[in-house]
Amino acid sequence: METYGIEKLGITSPKNVYRNLTPSRLIEDALLKGEGHLADNGALAVYTGKYTGRSPDDKFIVDTPGIHDVIGWGKVNRPIEREKFDNIKEQVAEYLNGKDVYIFDGYAGADKKYTQKFRIINELASQNLFIHQLLIRPTPEELENYGEPDYTLICAPGFKCDPEKDGVHSEAAIMIDYEAHMIVIAGSGYAGEIKKSVFSTMNYVMTTMDVLPMHCSANMDPETSETAIFFGLSGTGKTTLSADPNRKLIGDDEHGWSPDGVFNFEGGCYAKCIDLAEETEPDIFHAIRYGTLVENVIMDPETRALDFHDKSITENTRAGYPVDFISNSQIPGVGGVPKVVVFLTADAFGVLPPISRLSRNAAMYHFVTGFTSKLAGTERGITEPQPTFSTLFGEPFMPMPPLVYANMLGEKLDKYGTKVYLVNTGWAGGSAADGAKRMKLKYTRAMVTAALNGDFDDVEFKHHDVFNVDYPVHCPNVPDEFLDARGMWADKAAYDAQANKLAKLFTDNFSAKYPDMPEEIVAAGPKAAE
């Protein structure tokens, strides 16, 4: 039996070792082992058990001398000793002895100049299917000449840590050893931990190769190859706005910006599918078919129909599928140097301009800040909009200090003259708490299209004194009055109070989280009235 070197990891007596099985064979094994069920649309539906999302408190980075001084340690990047990591790794390897082991040898990084080889070792056939579809799949010739991986990831959801003995927080542990090029995931059946551990690794190694790693989507004009990237937290419309039928989708989540352009880290998509409907998200709806892994979506046991509206397990229902399941995808996932960067935010306070142009320093400020807001009523006790700030629009996955990534962005904006816009897909004419309506999607689409087409190059802009940004007075296919955030409020004094309130939340967050940020970046942020 070929073991592909896993005995070096301590997996010395597996029952069987399977490498790069086809999706159909992985689905067959998963069904035989009771890991999931086949839905009526052909997708493999699984339930992930106790963990239906990422477990941030259980994520660790091995603290070694070689990386200690370059990691942004804190609440997100928690250290763990090499001894504890090695102990859990050895226990996981021993746990896998006597079991079927599934290996996927694949790639992260569609631009071959920067491609990293990842060997993923799974206990579950269903999780091996997931990562087969999410990473870049090698051709038969590439697989034959694959050689040694750059990074190895072992995932064993059935192994439960002992917090007291193992020195971790719970039965789950997600640990990355950057120096040893090793990742161990134990105790969690949520497949997103695998994907995000690969992303976190790329976010470390790419910075050493003059590549800015980004938690964003990207698309391109099919004729000119002009490329745009979209940053945005959940609920801001990133997936909807980047999946433009007139443009080709490079990728929906993880990218690098190199001297040559933008490239997708992945070969697949991991889409939220709560309340998914064919009418609103036809591309994602039709991508959920044979070969797709669906997590925690309720399935009718008799009809095998998936109920995308049922939140009884979690709102974080997910579907993982290859990017070429999307009809207008760009294969390979490589585009040009971005012409435009779009930061998306859903402002439930209703005060940010619907679209504004950012200077270089303002772009760095908003990149570091990563703002959106929660609605009142989404959680018990929340009666007004709540700000959400996620550093770099992907705080949980960025191992280095924020300024490292911000400086890389600033350097690229200087070098390439890329334009940056802040687009508010949220509320207008009042706050969400007061019953205002969200900005119409057709107007937001028109603003984004105008930014991508360069329609704002010759348009007059006005300065917003509170938010310290410039907003256009005209946009094709958008009424002029819909561009003036303050003008849309009937009560101007109420607008001013709400705008200053949000601006202070920005400045309080920035001063608390980034006390050492350069003054020119701080000065480019909002200015709350005294």
Residues carrying an active site annotation = 54, 196, 215, 234, 238-239, 253, 318
Spatial separation of the C-alpha atoms in residues 399 and 414, rounded to whole Å: 25
> Which 3 state secondary structure label does DSSP give 169?
coil
CA-closest candidate to residue 375, choices 345, 346, 395, 398: 346
- Please give the span between the terminal C-alpha atoms of the chain, in angstroms, as a whole number: 73
CB 84 within 8 A of CB 166: yes
CA-closest candidate to residue 77, choices 176, 166, 161: 176
Spatial separation of the C-alpha atoms in residues 475 and 477, rounded to whole Å: 6
Residue 146 sits at φ, ψ, to 5 deg, of -65, -40
> Which 3 state secondary structure label does DSSP give 232?
strand
**Locus of tokens 């890389």:** 408
**How is 361-389 classified by DSSP, letter by letter?**
HHHHHHHHH-EEEEPTTSSTT--S-EEEE
The two structure tokens encoding residue 272: 């939220």
Spatial separation of the C-alpha atoms in residues 119 and 17, rounded to whole Å: 13
Spatial separation of the C-alpha atoms in residues 238 and 113, rounded to whole Å: 28
CB 113 within 8 A of CB 210: no
Spatial separation of the C-alpha atoms in residues 376 and 45, rounded to whole Å: 33
CB 285 within 8 A of CB 276: yes
To which H or E segment does residue 91 belong? helix 82-96
